[in-house]
Structure 1
Amino acid sequence: METDQYLDMFLDESREHLQAVNDNILKLEKQPENIDIVHEIFRSAHTLKGMAATMGFEDIASLTHKMENVLDQIRNYQLTVTTEVIDVIFIAIEYLEDMVQSIGDGKDGKRDVSELVQRLDVIEKGGSSLKEPQGAKEEVAAESVTASIAGLELDGFQMEVVQQARQQGYHVYQSTVLLEDDCILKGARAYMVFEILEKNGEIIQTTPAIEDIEEGNFDQGFSFIYLSKEKEENLKAQILKVSEVKEVDIADFLQEVSGHEESKEDKSSPINKAEMETEKVTTSQKTNKSEGKHQATKTIRVNLDRIDDLLNIFEEVIIDRGRLEVISDKSENQELTETVEHLGRVTSEMQSLILSMRMVPIDQVFNRFPRMIRGLARDLNKNINLEIIGAETELDRTVIDEIGDPLVHLIRNSVDHGIELPETRKKAGKLEEGNLTLRAFHSGNHVFIEIEDDGAGINRDKVQSKAIEKGLITAEEAVSLSNDEIANFILSSGFSTADKVSDISGRGVGLDVVKSKIESLGGEIHIKTQEGKGSIFSIQLPLTLSIIATLLVKVQRETYAIPLSSIIETALLEKEQILHAHGRKVMDFRGQVIPLVSLADVFQVPFEEEAHVKYHAVVVVKKGEQLTGLIVDSFIGQKEVVLKSLGVYLKDVFAISGATILGNGEVALIIDPNALIK
């Protein structure tokens, strides 16, 4: 049976099990005596091993098998949890993550794990027999979910494979093969049996482990669960032809997942198992304490590509809705007008629903940081406590995919430059352990992510001197700026106050790359700092990037769309109200002089002379604390538009973030105000 159809399911669940192992190992390091945590880690490792073996990824199966052995010794009180054990398991997790990523990228997922397997083997053999609490073995045994054949365990993934195989016409057998008592080359005989089996079907699980069987590390027999379209009598006859095979017992595999077993399986898998081929349906029971009843909650798990395809199709509906609105406005047909209005309401609800389907918890980004902080703290000889708040906050998948690297850079910067060494903190009257808080929350149509530390803060004098040196401000201007305004200069291009190059926080490149990435996502970043007390890096991001609210404006005969999220207000200026300073057009905006930029000049729009122009239409846009007025010819009105890429041939066009198709079929370019604010 081909396993390619299960690849998406394998990748999804492998990542979830690895994350579960990662999270629980961090907990175990803080609570080394908590055997319940070890049981959780063991379940995840065991499930991952079974999945990898089923899919034929031997390097993953081999490494997780050795991890499982070490964990088994810990949960049986034969090995103590030490820093060395934790370190090696973390290295193993990194190896496994790399191999799973390799498979996800279409590669074979192979990696030389021999050295790491050897290290785990040394730890396993060095396990000391410690005094076991009474009943410990019984507790471990009770945790095991076993199949009806002795010693075999099937996890949820393997059970799904079994069920799907039956639907495809395969027999599912449980079998035991016994060799002659005087058989010497047991491994060779077992290998010959497996050769026959693999020609006729697929082995799902064995006991003992398949590598032990092939090495002859078993008594006189071994057992397995097997998928095949061959009849059992034919299989039995073929296996009995192998020399020194004494007995073959083959029967239908009858294991069913009972309610008790299902609850056990849920502990080892963060998600419920479901329909194969990525799209999976599950039903879970939740207890309503107030009513004392069970309520069924149905969920469906769909490949993200399908949601993207659905959104692309819906974007075409939005475009057609706009065209219908234009036709309706020109028509005097009341029924058409009412139908279009109803269509508008329905599509708005559909839009909200589809966009919510694209929303994923930011935990997918945050969950990589605890292990990273642990490693950085050890490298820098610092004590750091990481607190994560609001990991359940949801953000558009497009933003999730892009925000990870900027957050890594900011966190590494806080760890390296912000939080002091323990002895320095102690002298300053602080606790030796520094605190780093990663926080996410919703506010309006935006998501805010904050990285806060209780370190040394940003040195105003150092940043101010560098800013003056680079010509960003004059000494006179610096006097009137607040500490936070000065601190934000570290986000300027090429700005760095590092005394020496550091591999930890970016090799002196500065944070301008972070700022550029965040702004390319339609977001903003600001810094608040208090010297000696700490700093907060605050990132504001839009909830979604694909359908945006805009103000349509006219420049000669061309139409442009300006995102509403960047607009402060609009204004009509008389010619006399346009002033000049330092050779540039400016305007007085509520007592503040701000620059004016003509879109006709920026985009070189062909000019058609118009007589008696009395007013200039101006759109005031913001970028952080900076304001700029964009001169246009007229305002058309607000419109929700679909943001479309310009494609590979027109990428990186100055001040243009994309295009959209309007209701009348006209293409309008979408302005990137950030590029126009200087």
Structure 2
Amino acid sequence: MALDADEEILQDFLVEAGEILEKLSEQLVDLEQHPDDSDLLNAIFRGFHTVKGGAGFLQLEALVNCCHSAENVFDILRNHKRKVTPDLMDVVLEALDNVNAMFEEVRNREEPTPAPDELIEALDALAKPESEDAPAVEAPTPAQEPSSADVGQQGDQGDITDEEFEQLLDALADEKSDGQKPVGNEQVSTPAESAGGSDSDEITDDEFEALLDQLHGKGQFAGAPAEDEAPKADIDTSGGSEKSSGDADLISDDEFENLLDELHGKGAGPSAGAAAGEPKPAPAPSSKAEPAPEPKKAEAKAESKAASKPAPAPAPAREAAPAGETTVRVDTKRLDDIMNMVGELVLVRNRLQRLGSESEDEHMHKAVANLDVVTTDLQAAVMQTRMQPIKKVFGRFPRVVRDLARSLKKEVNLVMHGEETDLDKNLVEALADPLVHLVRNSVDHGVEAPDVREKAGKPRAGTVTLSAEQEGDHILLSIVDDGAGMNPDVLRRKAVEKGLYDQDAADRLTDNECFNLIFAAGFSTKDQISDVSGRGVGMDVVKTKIGQLNGQINIMSEQGKGTSIIIKVPLTLAIMPTLMIMLGDQSFALPLVNVVEIFHLDLTKTNIVDGKECIVVRDKVFPLFHIKRWLVHGAAGQAEPENAHVVIVAMGTKQVGFVVDQLIGQEEVVIKPLGRALQGTPGMAGATITGDGRIALIIDVPSLLQHYG
């Protein structure tokens, strides 16, 4: 590997190849569902081809070899010489896993580990046609060029393979020594004739331009019309006007970029003119056709329609070039720093709003109102720069579901909605593991085996639906399956067996509370432990992680119909809307996402259930906690007031009541980490500065209840 390669070039490769590899994972799973989709086959072929090209430039031989073998398989598939089968897809997906592993090693500036020899051999075996006459479809030698029909097909694909490119170079070398060489049905006029020949091993500019003619301008492999008189005037790599012989020795940067785009399939290929429906032939050959064209050349031009339109081909690449200049790659740390500064600005705004409310100066009120508007807009704009589509998480699930369903011998279709929903990049990364657990759980526990589904009158293939949508300043994620659903009685029995509840308490559990038992540590309905599930760890991890993100998770299930899991998380973790409360003379902030409702309560009308103080509101029972006793020093021995404010908060799927002394109101706060002496304090998520300049601790509801409740 060229470890000393230019850092900018390496970063470009990592960005481009990373996006391609992410897309390849989805495309390969999609291909298994639509094996005859030629556009998909071509896209996958181009994906491996592009990654191979970038890796070759950086001398990453292990990556090149694996991509090359995979590319050969798809070359055979797209030419319909082999069919897509599950076994073939297993091998290709294993190759993609190896490519991804090597890509991560390159990202870490390590030498990539070559793919196993058995995998390369398996790919090479699949790169041969299914028919017995394998030699008939091997890469053609220079003496056996593709027919004009093949040329037209190649033009439609927009790419040439490495073997075809090598053949062109070989043909060019032979032309230098022989003067002329038959290619297909015509004679190619050699650069040696038009430019006076060359004895050097290197090719001249004229020879390079003649090669470009063969590649894209004059029918690719079918040869070029006679151009001995002024070969330079026929070549226009930029898609603009003809070049005079005086400036043909140099090509501009734009022309070189367009050439690269054509070679790698990013710009329009030779078929662009045909696709756009432009029947007009290239201007250069028509302007120089003094004698009537030879019969063979005319015949070849008639056969290769797509390749006879070189002028329109580079134009889209030139038009698309300015679009790349409108984006800038920025280090995420810089975005985080900007976000922190916006957070400080929010705190200053809150302080000024508090001071402005105490002032009677009208100009002061207007200035504070303007500052509020600008700060809110700036906060939203900076937040937008940190946003990423949740597709970055969703993109891995087609592969997860496919592999798991195959290992469990189930048939499962994955449906995804709302992939373009944006949320904070930190949340995108943090949600990946919980969602993987939940999707795997739906496939393993939810969807039944095909035979069982048939007996129940369902289609053999189950469906798992993954969706995301924005609701205010939160994101709703749902994982829905049409499987067997959950049996509350089985869950009650398991809870008693595990010692989580006694029989009486278990019998009093509602169905919804039974469903939420699956989040308990060590709880599993599986009798046998497998490599997929059964240890009762995954769902506990999910609940903990969602709680850390200030999110909520809820389950609905109907036996025989399926299960729905709904997750609600905030759009961002940087700036948090909170409810400010007072306990004694100290301020605390409750995350607003946890707050369900607030009411005034007569504390003399509470009840004791299972040894805990509870209140009944609208026929619902809520446990009641005096958090002042936990959080304020010396408050435990104080007499309790007869009336107080109660805030109902949601912790995951449970709801409890917190008794507070005073409600201040809603306020947006910036979370500041606790100092070293206070780190790890139970029930505290961090601290913030309030509008009146005081420091308030931010309450972590799940942690608070787990430690004290």
TM above 0.5, yes or no, is yes
The structural deviation recorded for 1:615 is 4.0
List per-residue Cα deviations over 1:566-602 (Å, max 9, x = no partner).
Answer: 2233334455345555654444434444332223321
Match of 2:56 among 37, 50, 53: 53
The structural deviation recorded for 1:506 is 5.4
Relative to 1, partners in 2 of residues 1:32 and 1:647: Cα closer, same or farther, differing over 3 Å?
A: farther
The question of whether the paired residues in 1 share the 8 Å contact of 2:622 and 2:657 is answered with yes
Relative to 1, partners in 2 of residues 1:583 and 1:81: Cα closer, same or farther, differing over 3 Å?
A: closer
Say which structure is richer in helix.
2
Q: Which residue of 1 aligns with 2:376?
A: 348
Q: Which residue of 1 aligns with 2:126?
A: 123
Which amino acid is 1:97 matched to?
Answer: N
Q: Which residue of 1 aligns with 2:143?
A: none
Q: Which residue of 2 aligns with 1:639?
A: 667
The question of whether the paired residues in 1 share the 8 Å contact of 2:154 and 2:160 is answered with no
Specify the SS of the correspondent of 1:381: coil
Specify the SS of the correspondent of 1:621: strand
Which amino acid is 1:365 matched to?
Answer: V
The question of whether the paired residues in 2 share the 8 Å contact of 1:283 and 1:299 is answered with no
Q: Distance in 1 between matches of 2:325 and 2:477?
A: 31
Superposed, which structure 2 residues align to 1:53-132 within 5 Å? 53-125=56-128, 128=131
Q: Which residue of 2 aligns with 1:365?
A: 393
Q: Distance in 1 between matches of 2:373 and 2:119?
A: 59
Match of 2:337 among 309, 327, 332: 309
Q: Distance in 2 between matches of 1:267 and 1:485?
A: 59
1:8 aligns with 2:11: yes
Specify the SS of the correspondent of 1:511: helix
Specify the SS of the correspondent of 1:257: helix
Q: Distance in 2 between matches of 1:366 and 1:89?
A: 21
The question of whether the paired residues in 2 share the 8 Å contact of 1:599 and 1:630 is answered with yes
Q: Distance in 2 between matches of 1:613 and 1:111?
A: 72
1:141 aligns with 2:155: yes
Relative to 1, partners in 2 of residues 1:321 and 1:667: Cα closer, same or farther, differing over 3 Å?
A: same
Q: Which residue of 2 aligns with 1:257?
A: 258
The question of whether the paired residues in 2 share the 8 Å contact of 1:495 and 1:510 is answered with no
Which amino acid is 2:29 matched to?
Answer: L
1:400 aligns with 2:428: yes
Specify the SS of the correspondent of 2:258: coil
Specify the SS of the correspondent of 2:480: strand
Q: Distance in 2 between matches of 1:658 and 1:675?
A: 12
Q: Which residue of 2 aligns with 1:244?
A: none
Query: 489-498 or 79-88, which moves further after superposition?
Result: 79-88
The structural deviation recorded for 1:362 is 1.3
Q: Which residue of 2 aligns with 1:451?
A: 479
Q: Which residue of 2 aligns with 1:39?
A: 42
Relative to 1, partners in 2 of residues 1:417 and 1:593: Cα closer, same or farther, differing over 3 Å?
A: closer
Q: Distance in 2 between matches of 1:178 and 1:56?
A: 28
Relative to 1, partners in 2 of residues 1:364 and 1:296: Cα closer, same or farther, differing over 3 Å?
A: closer
Q: Distance in 2 between matches of 1:471 and 1:267?
A: 67
Q: Distance in 2 between matches of 1:586 and 1:612?
A: 16
Q: Which residue of 2 aligns with 1:541?
A: 569
Unaligned runs of 5+ in 1: 154-175, 182-196, 198-206, 208-249, 269-281, 286-294
The structural deviation recorded for 1:40 is 1.0
Q: Distance in 2 between matches of 1:500 and 1:267?
A: 56
Which amino acid is 1:91 matched to?
Answer: E
The structural deviation recorded for 1:616 is 2.9
Q: Distance in 2 between matches of 1:57 and 1:3?
A: 14
Q: Distance in 1 between matches of 2:451 and 2:571?
A: 42
Q: Which residue of 1 aligns with 2:352?
A: 324
The structural deviation recorded for 1:607 is 4.6
Q: Which residue of 2 aligns with 1:162?
A: none
The question of whether the paired residues in 1 share the 8 Å contact of 2:411 and 2:462 is answered with yes
Q: Distance in 2 between matches of 1:652 and 1:619?
A: 25
1:425 aligns with 2:453: yes
The question of whether the paired residues in 2 share the 8 Å contact of 1:501 and 1:508 is answered with no
Q: Distance in 2 between matches of 1:262 and 1:483?
A: 62
The structural deviation recorded for 1:81 is 3.2
The question of whether the paired residues in 2 share the 8 Å contact of 1:571 and 1:618 is answered with yes
The question of whether the paired residues in 2 share the 8 Å contact of 1:500 and 1:508 is answered with no
Q: Distance in 2 between matches of 1:611 and 1:33?
A: 77
Relative to 1, partners in 2 of residues 1:17 and 1:267: Cα closer, same or farther, differing over 3 Å?
A: farther
List per-residue Cα deviations over 1:510-535 (Å, max 9, x = no partner).
Answer: 52221111121111222222222221
The structural deviation recorded for 1:477 is 5.0
Q: Which residue of 2 aligns with 1:166?
A: none
Relative to 1, partners in 2 of residues 1:298 and 1:585: Cα closer, same or farther, differing over 3 Å?
A: same
List per-residue Cα deviations over 1:169-192 (Å, max 9, x = no partner).
Answer: xxxxxxx999999xxxxxxxxxxx
Relative to 1, partners in 2 of residues 1:569 and 1:414: Cα closer, same or farther, differing over 3 Å?
A: closer
Specify the SS of the correspondent of 1:19: helix
The question of whether the paired residues in 2 share the 8 Å contact of 1:617 and 1:634 is answered with yes
Q: Distance in 2 between matches of 1:472 and 1:29?
A: 44
The structural deviation recorded for 1:365 is 0.8
The structural deviation recorded for 1:606 is 4.2
Specify the SS of the correspondent of 1:408: helix
Unaligned runs of 5+ in 2: 138-146, 178-201, 203-210, 212-248, 270-316
Q: Distance in 2 between matches of 1:68 and 1:582?
A: 67
Specify the SS of the correspondent of 1:32: coil
1:602 aligns with 2:630: yes
Q: Distance in 2 between matches of 1:57 and 1:296?
A: 27
The structural deviation recorded for 1:152 is 8.6
The question of whether the paired residues in 1 share the 8 Å contact of 2:82 and 2:130 is answered with yes
Specify the SS of the correspondent of 1:255: helix
The structural deviation recorded for 1:471 is 4.7
Relative to 1, partners in 2 of residues 1:663 and 1:23: Cα closer, same or farther, differing over 3 Å?
A: same
The structural deviation recorded for 1:347 is 0.7
Q: Distance in 2 between matches of 1:652 and 1:180?
A: 77
Which amino acid is 1:392 matched to?
Answer: E
The structural deviation recorded for 1:483 is 3.4
Relative to 1, partners in 2 of residues 1:520 and 1:142: Cα closer, same or farther, differing over 3 Å?
A: same
Q: Distance in 2 between matches of 1:612 and 1:600?
A: 10
Q: Distance in 2 between matches of 1:260 and 1:69?
A: 22
Cα RMSD for the two superposed structures:
3.9
Match of 1:387 among 412, 415, 421: 415
Q: Which residue of 2 aligns with 1:618?
A: 646
Specify the SS of the correspondent of 1:353: helix
Which amino acid is 2:62 matched to?
Answer: D
Which amino acid is 1:662 matched to?
Answer: T
Which amino acid is 2:155 matched to?
Answer: A
Say which structure is richer in strand.
1
The question of whether the paired residues in 1 share the 8 Å contact of 2:45 and 2:71 is answered with yes
List per-residue Cα deviations over 1:344-379 (Å, max 9, x = no partner).
Answer: 111112222222222221111111111121111111
The structural deviation recorded for 1:312 is 1.4
Q: Which residue of 2 aligns with 1:568?
A: 596
Q: Which residue of 2 aligns with 1:188?
A: none
The question of whether the paired residues in 2 share the 8 Å contact of 1:494 and 1:510 is answered with no
Q: Distance in 1 between matches of 2:347 and 2:507?
A: 52
